[in-house]
A and B are shown apart, each in its own frame.
Chain A
Amino acid sequence: MIPGVLRETVARDGERVVYVERERLLEAMTWLKQTPGQDYDYLVDVTAVEFRDRERPLEVVYFLRSLTRKADLRVKVELDAAGELAVDSVWGLWHGADWLEREVFDMFGITFRGHPDLRRILMWETYAEGFPLRKDFPLRGRFSRAEQVRQALNANPEAHYSLDELSIADAWGDLPDDMRERLKRGERGVVPE
């Protein structure tokens, strides 16, 4: 019995779908990976779904696979859009979750607790328009094209580097003084008007 299981269904493609309590996700995943007879050793994909029906909670979907048993399993966690959008990261179990969880964070704004490097991945780090795959995000984006171009042209050079990289450069004394000054003031990215 999977720990924290709420209910089970079968998807239209015949796969088993298991809904798990949010707080016990990591426990359930560890059990699925390590229990003999389960052996879900391969993480196929991580994604999230938001429905057009605003009443329905968001779902974080994990596609698991056991390479030895040739079996698939879909694990879902439901998140109330009005509540805190956060789940535990499964990076510790499958390192493949690294970029996948970053993408879900980038596109839906769902936080993965315990992820080693949770930054935006497809959008740039100083992107301020929100989370593109949420249903309340308009198809054309929130800022006009002119505003996007203005921000891109006015961005400081440090906007193109992650804080990690800037700290590496700083550690070896390679950071220009004006950049250090701006970073110290907490400014990063767009030049203020």
Chain B
Amino acid sequence: MTRTVELELATPGVDAQGQPARVPLAASDLGGEHLLLNMGPQHPATHGVLRLVVELDGETVVRCIPHVGYLHSGFEKLGEYRHYNQIVPLTDRTDYLSPMSNNVGMALAAEKLMGIEITPRCTVLRVIACEMSRIISHMVWLGTTSIDLGAFTPFLWAFQERERIYNLQEMWTGARLTTSLTRVGGLMADIPDGFVEKLRDFTATFPNTLNEIDRVLTRNAVWAGRTQGVGVMTAAEAINYSLSGPMLRASGVPWDVRKDRPYLGYETYDFEVPVGEHGDVYDRYLVRLEECHQSNKILQQALARLPDGPINVDDPRVILPPKSRAMSDMEAMIFHFKQVMEGVKAPVGEAYVGIENPKGELGNYFVSDGSAKPVRWRIRPPSFINLSALSKMAEGHLLSDLVAINASVDIVMGEVDR
């Protein structure tokens, strides 16, 4: 598949037709010896403790065998020994680049299992949390990927924007990374005074940064040359490999959980789902960049419609009473005691809720036997499943392209290894 991109910079990397000039893929039999190269687990371009064993023919990747598990912490096992609200902090540490939306995903699954309806204000606040997470996660992706490919400036711009969201997260939850925002049936806290104004400021200026990044990368000959036609997954392959999120949409499959299996009232927001057509690294970049614009739009709509009212459901069996009442009112103290000591009991059964996380579809699957601790807590880890297609995508490309492909998957090892 060929395409023409109008390039702004005249560089030696472009041929006469304005197409980025690429080294042709080498024929498999150069006659030389193959080399087994070990890359990682401590390597800046593997985005964490990922280890790739690569069989090379010259500079061409013949096979790439990923080794994961260096960050395995047994979260799913730990979850079987915890009350539902005690599981929330574990979710912070899975995909630690978007902790708030992990919290939301877990809480939604627990609420589905228990049949709890959350309040309108809580719903909108959770949407805000999810979209803020999407922006910071995509900013990290953009920054680190551009560094991997040799561009340093977008990294600084992206991390500056991320910093502004992190300040908002700190304002809301008191933590920048380990937010533990949600509780079963609500949130740990309402947003503080001044939060709405600050977030509104952010949404007003954030598109400027995105446009700057767009200007410096999208029509940049080096960027286009390093990313176009690299790591291509066709739509059929992407479906067959169970890819999700931007990886799936860049291949031209318009599946977005927010649109196709709406949760948190996403069907009432006006936003577009960007879809690529070539399924290469460049299209994944375009999809993620546009998703930031759309998230910004959703944030603005959510701020405009944010209703007043309680953030927690009115059920003393699920939500802890305020501390002042627990210390003065007998009934509230009993509920407080029962919840802390026994936890919230879930009915027998199972529930799966998938949400559109920045990396892809994050699923939380709870199986309960009627006690306060789940029998099984399964996280469907989007970057684990997206990473499993890495060997397929890297075959036949140059070693330097493997770095670009690996970056385009947008992995976070805390979630891959859990």
Contacts and interface: CB of A to CB of B under 8 A. Distances in A.
B120 to A, nearest CB: 21
Q: Which of A61, A96, A133 has the most CB of B within 10 A?
A: A96
Contacts, number: 127
Interface residues of B, number: 53
B84 interface: no
B242 A67 contact: no
**B interface, over-half SS:** mixed
Nearest to A165: B53
Contact of A168 (B55, B378, B385): B55
B33 A172 contact: yes
A174 B354 CA distance: 46
A165 B65 contact: yes
Given A95-B241, A124-B69, A139-B78, A100 B351 contact: no
B55 A53 contact: no
Interface stretch (B152-160, B196-204, B336-344, B363-371): B363-371
- Select the residue from A45, A94, A133, A172 with max chain B CB neighbours within 10 A: A45
B69 A122 contact: yes
A15 interface: yes
B365 to A, nearest CB: 7
Contacts of B63: 168
Interface stretch (B11-19, B125-133, B138-146, B253-261): B253-261
Contact of A70 (B113, B260, B385): B260
Given A51-B369, A99-B388, A13 B363 contact: no
B81 A162 contact: no
Q: What is the predominant secondary structure among interface residues of chain A facing chain B?
A: loop
Contacts of B255: 67
B375 A51 contact: yes
Contacts of A61: 365
Interface residues of A, number: 50
Contact of B68 (A45, A121, A162): A121
B375 A49 contact: yes
7 tightest A-B CB contacts, nearest first: A96-B242, A12-B349, A99-B388, A122-B69, A13-B351, A45-B380, A122-B72
Interface of B: 33-36, 53, 55, 63, 65, 67-69, 72, 74, 76-78, 81, 112-113, 115, 239-243, 253, 255, 260-261, 347, 349-354, 361, 363, 365, 367, 369, 375-376, 378, 380, 384-385, 387-389, 392, 417-418
28 contacts: A11-B349, A11-B352, A13-B352, A17-B350, A42-B242, A44-B361, A44-B363, A47-B376, A49-B350, A49-B375, A49-B376, A51-B375, A67-B239, A70-B260, A94-B242, A96-B385, A96-B389, A99-B385, A100-B242, A100-B385, A121-B69, A124-B69, A132-B77, A133-B76, A133-B77, A165-B36, A172-B35, A172-B36
